[in-house]
């Protein structure tokens, strides 16, 4: 799903053309998905779109700025958490995350960017605020409620539990896309939760 790219300061001259902005950002996503980070540059972007380099540079100072806006314009779509038993809700969410990572342009773009994200702090900030945080927050809130209501053992850290749940899912999507099954995702969630159920004797 696409959202408008953030507005960057206009540098004078003609007013910004939103259609050109969208064309450049969409092409940037395509280039990174097809060629990887090593194959991305303003020169290739200009050649791919037929838009002059000078036009692109009037809007963005560098390829990294283009990628920041391209990432901000895409996000993984998460459904709201519904009421009900914790385990099936989490199974549905981690499976949704896995499918989003391998089936959507946003997921495929992220897979190409992740190896470079820590060397590009501005890009990491966009990745965290636009992609990671929106997916984490509802899950953390649901797990926090599960602890408070006794579904999970007292003292369980919801933030760390999210990492336990989604870490293998993201690894599977990045390194073996398409190899994981929904049954395997369900087994993973059940295994993690099994050690965190309240002890009846407590």
Residue 18 confidence class, pLDDT cut points 50, 70, 90: confident
pTM of the model: 0.76
Average pLDDT in the 66-71 region? 89
pLDDT band at 118 (very low <50, low <70, confident <90, very high): confident
Binning pLDDT at 50, 70 and 90, where does residue 13 land? Answer: very low
CB 130 within 8 A of CB 137: no
Q: Answer for the pair 135, 97: CB distance below 8 angstroms, yes or no.
A: yes
The larger pLDDT score, comparing residue 199 to residue 174, is at 174
C-beta separation of 58 from 15 below 8 A: no
Bridge partners, 2 (sequence order):
74
Contact (Cβ atoms closer than 8 angstroms) between residue 198 and residue 152:
yes
What integer pLDDT is reported at residue 97 of this predicted model? 87
Partnered with residue 27 across adjacent β-strands are: none
What does the angle CA 195 – CA 201 – CA 202 come to, to the nearest 5 degrees? 75
Q: Give the rounded percent of residues in the chain with a pLDDT score beyond 70.
A: 88
Rounded mean pLDDT of 112-137? Answer: 81
CA 156 to chain centre: 25
- For 74, phi then psi, to 5°, come to -120, 145
C-alpha span between 80 and 86 (Å, rounded): 14
- Cβ contact 49:20 at 8 Å: no
| Averaged pLDDT score across all residues of the chain | 85
Query: With 70 as the cut, is the pLDDT of residue 113 above it?
Result: yes
């Amino acid at each position: 799903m696409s959202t408008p790219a953030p507005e960057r300061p206009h540098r004078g001259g003609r007013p910004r053309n939103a259609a050109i902005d969208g064309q450049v950002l969409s092409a940037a996503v395509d280039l990174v998905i097809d060629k990887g980070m090593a194959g991305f540059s303003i020169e290739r972007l200009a050649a791919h779109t037929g838009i002059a380099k000078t036009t692109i540079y009037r809007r963005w100072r560098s390829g990294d700025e283009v990628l920041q806006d391209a990432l901000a314009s895409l996000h993984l779509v998460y459904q709201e958490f519904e009421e009900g038993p914790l385990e099936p809700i989490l199974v549905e969410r981690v499976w949704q995350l896995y499918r989003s990572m391998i089936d959507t342009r946003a997921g495929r773009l992220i897979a190409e960017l992740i190896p470079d994200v820590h060397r590009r702090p501005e890009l990491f900030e966009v990745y965290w605020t636009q992609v990671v945080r929106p997916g984490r927050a509802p899950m953390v809130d649901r797990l926090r409620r599960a602890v408070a209501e006794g579904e999970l053992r007292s003292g369980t850290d919801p933030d760390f539990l999210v990492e336990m749940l989604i870490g293998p899912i993201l690894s599977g999507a990045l390194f073996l896309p398409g190899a994981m099954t929904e049954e395997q995702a369900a087994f993973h969630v059940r295994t993690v939760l099994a050690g965190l159920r309240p002890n009846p004797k407590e």
